[in-house]
Chains A and B, each alone.
Chain A
Amino acid sequence: MDNYIEIRGMSFLRGERLIFNDIDIDIPRGKVTSIMGPSGTGKTTLLRLVGGQLKPRTGTITVDGENISRLNRKKLYLARERMGMLFQSGALFSDLSVYENVAFPLRVHTKLSEDMIRDIVLMKLHAVGLRGARGLMPSELSGGMTRRVALARTIALDPDLVMYDEPFAGQDPIAMGVLVQLVRLLNDALGMTSVLVSHDVPEALSISDHVCIIADGKVIGQGSPKYLKEQGSPLVKQFLQGLPDGPVPFHYPAADYRTDLLAGSEGAGLFS
Chain B
Amino acid sequence: MLDYFRSIGARAIHSVAVLGRSGVFLANSLIGVPTLRSGFPLLIKQLYSIGVLSLVIVIVSGLFIGMVLGLQGYNILVDYGSEQAIGQMVALTLVRELGPVVTALLFAGRAGSALTAEIGLMKATEQLTSMEMIGVDPLRRIIAPRLWAGFISMPLLAMIFSVVGIWGGMLVGVDWLGVYEGSFWANMQASVSFEEDVLNGIIKSLVFGFVCTWIAVFQGYDSVPTSEGISAATTKTVVYSSLAVLGLDFVLTAVMFTAL
Using a CB–CB distance below 8 Å, which chain A residues touch chain B? Answer: 48, 51, 53, 77, 80-81, 83-85, 87-94, 104-105, 108-109, 150
Using a CB–CB distance below 8 Å, which chain B residues touch chain A? Answer: 121-122, 125-127, 129-136
Q: Is A105 within 8 A of B134, CB to CB? A: yes
CA distance A48 to B129 in the complex (A): 10
Q: Is A108 within 8 A of B132, CB to CB? A: no
Q: Is A53 within 8 A of B132, CB to CB? A: yes
Q: Is A108 within 8 A of B135, CB to CB? A: yes
Chain B residues positioned under 8 Å from A108 (CB to CB)? 134-136
Chain A residues positioned under 8 Å from B135 (CB to CB)? 77, 80-81, 105, 108-109
Residue of B nearest to A93 (CB): B127
Report the 7 A-B pairs with minimum CB-CB distance, sorted nearest first: A91-B130, A91-B126, A87-B126, A85-B133, A105-B134, A80-B135, A89-B125
CA distance A84 to B122 in the complex (A): 19
Partner of A92, one of B121, B127, B132, B136: B127
Distance from A247 Cβ to chain B, minimum over Cβ atoms (Å): 31
CA distance A90 to B129 in the complex (A): 11
- 12 further A-B pairs in the complex, CB-CB below 8 A; given A84-B133, A105-B134: A53-B132, A53-B133, A85-B133, A87-B126, A88-B126, A89-B126, A91-B125, A91-B130, A93-B131, A94-B121, A104-B136, A109-B135
Partner of B134, one of A48, A94, A104: A104
Sampled A-B contacts (11; CB under 8 Å): A80-B133, A80-B134, A85-B133, A87-B126, A89-B126, A91-B127, A91-B130, A93-B127, A94-B121, A108-B134, A109-B135
Residue of A nearest to B124 (CB): A89
Q: Is B134 within 8 A of A53, CB to CB? A: no
